[in-house]
């Protein structure tokens, strides 16, 4: 039986590519979550007025890869101290967020954030939001596996 994990860590193209490389990840989809309108488009989300974050929803086999490993990849692939931005991308859609799908995921996310905050790795406080998974809206087809389709390994981050 598979599980879902949903993460916002800036531009979803690079985040999706990072998760697709993990053995045990069954599928990924980029999309939007956490906003206040239904079925948003990329153009609407980019206005910074819908409240949605660009996210990646990952389906994984917990017998092959743990949720803790998903969290490790999340933390390592963005700067969780940047509020509503990642690198040159600015806006609430680029916020750092973990959308949990179970009480166990919530506890694991909170624990991993506390561990990271106490590790001394960052000089600024972590601003990652940890919230219950809202409705996930799949992004337009051209965004799915965007970097792979173009032969690119990563975004600018």
pLDDT of 107 reads 98
Residue 116, domain extent: 3-149
Is it the case that residue 157 has pLDDT exceeding 50?
no
Give the confidence band of 155 by pLDDT, cuts at 50, 70, 90: low
pLDDT of 145 reads 72
The CATH number of the domain where 24 resides is what? 3.30.1060.10
- 155 belongs to a structural domain: no
Give the confidence band of 83 by pLDDT, cuts at 50, 70, 90: very high
- 16 belongs to a structural domain: yes
CA distances from 105 to 5, 25, 43, 51, 101 (A): 8, 16, 31, 23, 6
Positions annotated as catalytic residues are 11
Cα distance between residue 97 and residue 29, in whole Å: 16
Is it the case that residue 148 has pLDDT exceeding 70?
no
pLDDT of 132 reads 98
Q: Into how many domains does the chain fold?
A: 1
- 32 belongs to a structural domain: yes
Share of the chain above pLDDT 70, in %: 91
pLDDT of 69 reads 97
Give the confidence band of 140 by pLDDT, cuts at 50, 70, 90: confident
CA angle 42, 144, 6 (to 5 degrees): 80
Higher pLDDT, 52 or 88: 52
- pTM metric for this prediction: 0.91
């Amino acid at each position: 039986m598979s599980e879902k994990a949903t993460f916002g860590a800036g531009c979803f193209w690079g985040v999706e590519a990072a998760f697709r490389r993990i053995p045990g990840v069954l599928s990924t989809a980029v999309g939007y979550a956490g906003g206040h309108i239904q079925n948003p488009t990329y153009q609407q989300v980019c206005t910074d007025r819908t409240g949605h974050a660009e996210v990646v929803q990952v389906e994984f086999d917990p017998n092959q890869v743990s949720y803790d490993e998903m969290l490790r990849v999340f933390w390592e692939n963005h700067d969780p101290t940047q509020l509503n931005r990642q690198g040159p991308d600015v806006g609430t859609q680029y916020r750092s967020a973990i959308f949990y799908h179970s009480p166990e995921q919530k506890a694991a996310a909170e624990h991993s954030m506390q561990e990271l905050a106490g590790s001394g790795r960052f000089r600024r406080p972590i601003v990652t939001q940890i919230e219950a998974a809202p409705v996930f809206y799949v992004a337009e087809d051209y965004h799915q596996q965007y970097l792979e389709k173009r032969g690119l390994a990563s975004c600018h981050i």
